[in-house]
Amino acid sequence: MYLGRVVGCVWSTVKNRNLEGQRMLVIQPLTPELANTGQRIVCTDCTGAGAGELIYWVRGREASLAFLPNEPATDATVVAIVDSVHLRSAAAPEPPPPAAPAPAPPARGRKPSRKG
């Protein structure tokens, strides 16, 4: 799955009959930090996403599974509208947990001295 932002829509009057009634959106792929990356792509939409919304999309065979039992000829589909993204900062990694104290070695008894 990939993050993206809806930046436009596509209107087509001539298309595969399995795509009739399907919305097609122009998506700008994003990094996890929400920076633009790569070229814009056209995705079918099963969520009703609108312009400017943060979404995630899939590609490949999984793209058509969102429309089962129909299987439109698509290789990229918007499958979710994203509410928020939370990342840990790479600059300030979480401190490691405190190390547990090493267990004390088992007590050994002293051998009795041979002095008599």
Domain CATH number, residue 16:
2.40.50.220
Q: Work out how many domains the chain is built from and give that number.
A: 1
pTM metric for this prediction? 0.72
CA atoms of 57 and 66, how far apart (whole Å): 11
Name the one residue in this structure whose structure tokens are 């405190």.
98
CA atoms of 39 and 31, how far apart (whole Å): 12
CA atoms of 47 and 7, how far apart (whole Å): 15
For the chain, percent of residues with pLDDT exceeding 90: 61
Residue 76: which domain range?
2-81
Domain-located, residue 89:
no
**pLDDT tens by residue, 60-114:** 999 999 999 988 989 999 999 999 999 887 666 666 677 767 676 666 666 666 6
